[in-house]
Chain A
Amino acid sequence: MPTLVYLEDHEGELVKGSLGVLTKAAQLGGDVAAVVCGSGVQGLAAQAGRYGAARVYVADDPALVAPLPQPRVDVLEALVRERGFDTVLFGASVLATDVAAGLAARLPAGLNWDLVDLEVRDGKLVGRRPALQDSVYADVGWKGEPRLALVRSGTFEPVEGGGEAEVEELAVQTQDFSRQAVMLERAHAESEGPSIEDADVIVAGGRGLGSPDKFGLLEELAQALGGAVAATRAVVDAGWYPYATQVGQTGKTVSPKLYFACGISGAIQHKVGMQASGTIVAINKDPNAPIFEYADVGVVGDLHQIVPKLTELVRERRT
């Protein structure tokens, strides 16, 4: 089972999620290689050996400097075809998801996404994939090769232990249409804004707040509890609250002792950022909201009534 793991880099480091997938691939056994794509990324190749890759391919080219998917599909297609990989694994991210789906169409190949586990059963690769808002778990597989898989973010922890990897540079060729999208500005690691990672209590709000000024309600509750305020991507994208406070797949991962989810539907991409919280209290007026599937206390009701009342009661207890 020659397996290729796609490694993502950001600001001079390999991304943890993709190293976790590499660790898992090495545990499954077989012939495991990794690929790094970018510009000026040769230095990263050696790191990959420590996480279990026997060989690391490096595609280093100015066409790969921006983290855009399409030129990477070109690189991976050539690599998979020429070296005969039968399995390609990705740790989910905005970039890796687009690369994996483009590669699936190109090869063509089957792609299973959102996997939370991978195992080899009777010589066959089987993935575990939660479905329908995680209310059911499916065992999924592939008909034929290559097999492509995207692993849900935060699933596997990287473990160091391997040795040196053999490094091989690839000649990079990209297609015209792959180079048409260009990056004018690139996001930088957030250094400003409130910190939510260290808070023991988080009061988080989503689109159910109805308008940006309603974050005031959450700020008051957070203050009474000595906690911090967080937000979903929907409201951050809409400009209601700063990106630094976003919890989820494309935001922060938090694990406070107590997490209040107010007006949050509980999408998987939000869940992966807060499911490790000690106790989760959800307030949502829709009794079928997915958040109730994993809340310890689920309140079906209007947050505009309940949150101010909570603040009042907490304040009373404190005095």
Chain B
Amino acid sequence: MRLAVCVKEVPEASARTRIDPGTLRLDRGGAATLNPFDAHALEEALRIKERTGEGEVVAVMMAPLPAADSLRKALAIGADRAVHVADDALAGSDLVATARTLAKAVEREEPDLILLGQQGGDSDGAVLWSALADLLRLPVVSQAASLELAEGKVAVKRQTEYGYDLIEAPLPCIVAVSDAINEPRYPSLKGIMGAKKKPHETLNAADLGLGADEIGEAGSRTEVYALADPPSRGDSVRIEGDGAAAEKVVEYLTERKLI
């Protein structure tokens, strides 16, 4: 069983992320981490490997070079191998340009199952898998709250606006998992030590046979014109600490006759 997991690096939740007013792109210069949503996809891959007792888990990432640390974290958690696509020509890639790049990188692995997280922690996008599936011409199921593998098929329980659907697809296929599908493990000390010795390949756009007009800004068809402040929502009150918090909330609500 060959399992590929697409992972991404996103700004640390505690970092004050911003969009660079010059380039109108996300400032990726601050503290960053492995997208927490992708940790669930990695966890699911590791569990499948453990359950079936065989297989290989490859983490695939497209990101600038410094993101290698986040990819190493995926190795520390348990991935067997890492593939990092890094190239300055990729900066500014939109959905389709990113999907093109990942499709090429994933294809080389000839995986039976390709897993993704439910969304990008930075873009709130929940779109990549479907674009990837179309380029790879593979079936896709998103928002998997649970996933079972049997007889060369996956069975997925997926939440929609109406409750839960049950969907089945033959391998090879693509599944994007909900963040409730599992509780991701943390890297162990042994895992962290071992990660340095695991295969960690770095590729550029030319290695994947990607033309300059297919990727980055040139290969993208969306653009950002301007930034603005969000509409103001009026005054809000901030209460810190557990001590008198409950009293203060009750006082606030009583004053406004809400209780």
Q: Which residues in A have some Cβ–Cβ distance to B below 8 Å? A: 10, 67-70, 73, 93-95, 97-106, 108-114, 126, 130-144, 150, 175, 177-178, 180-190, 225, 233-238, 243, 249-251, 257-258, 267-268, 278-279, 281, 283, 286-288, 292, 294-302, 305-306, 309-310, 312-314, 317
Contact = CB atoms under 8 A, between A and B. Distances in A.
11 contacts: A69-B130, A99-B130, A105-B95, A126-B225, A136-B228, A178-B139, A183-B167, A189-B163, A238-B180, A299-B245, A306-B249
* Most interface-central of A101, A131, A135 (chain B CB within 10 A): A101
B245 A301 contact: yes
Interface in B192-249: 220-231, 233-234, 236-242, 245-249
Nearest to B254: A317
A131 B21 CA distance: 13
B158 interface: yes
A279 B145 CA distance: 31
A177 B259 contact: no
Contacts of A95: 160
B222 A141 contact: yes
* Most interface-central of B95, B129, B224, B239 (chain A CB within 10 A): B95
Contacts of A182: 167-169
Given A237-B145, A243-B163, 4 more contacts: A10-B161, A70-B134, A297-B237, A309-B245
A314 B256 CA distance: 15
Nearest to A124: B225
Secondary structure class of chain B's binding surface, majority of residues: mixed
Interface stretch (B47-55, B75-83, B120-128): B120-128
* Most interface-central of B140, B170, B256 (chain A CB within 10 A): B140
Contacts of B140: 69-70, 98, 102, 181
Interface string B92-120: 00111001100000000000000000000
Contacts of A105: 95-96, 99-100, 130-132, 134-135
B239 A184 contact: no
Contacts of A131: 19, 123-124
A250 B134 CA distance: 24
B8 to A, nearest CB: 16
A206 to B, nearest CB: 11
A299 B249 contact: yes
Contact of A233 (B180, B220, B237, B256): B180
The 7 closest A-B pairs by CB, nearest first: A110-B221, A237-B180, A187-B163, A309-B246, A101-B130, A105-B131, A101-B127
B94 A110 contact: yes
Contacts of B133: 70, 102
B230 A297 contact: no
B250 A98 contact: no
Contacts of A281: 249, 253
A294 B233 contact: yes
Contacts of B18: 132, 136
Contacts of B169: 180-182
A123 B69 CA distance: 45
A180 B173 contact: yes
Contact of B162 (A189, A233, A302): A189
Contacts of B240: 287, 300-301
A70 B222 contact: no
A188 B161 CA distance: 10
B17 interface: yes
B131 A141 contact: no
A66 to B, nearest CB: 8
B250 A190 contact: no
Contact of A300 (B19, B141, B180, B238): B238
Nearest to B13: A288
A140 B250 contact: no
B119 to A, nearest CB: 8
A110 B18 CA distance: 23
B227 A136 contact: yes
B135 A136 contact: no
Nearest to B15: A288
A100 B130 CA distance: 8
Contacts of B130: 69, 97-102, 105
* Most interface-central of A69, A104, A143 (chain B CB within 10 A): A104
Contacts of A300: 238-241
B138 interface: yes
* Most interface-central of B168, B178, B246 (chain A CB within 10 A): B246
A67 B246 contact: no
A95 B231 CA distance: 29
B233 A297 contact: no
Given A110-B96, A301-B241, A317-B254, A187 B131 contact: no
Given A114-B124, A258-B258, A144 B168 contact: no
Contacts of B159: 94, 233, 236-237, 243, 250
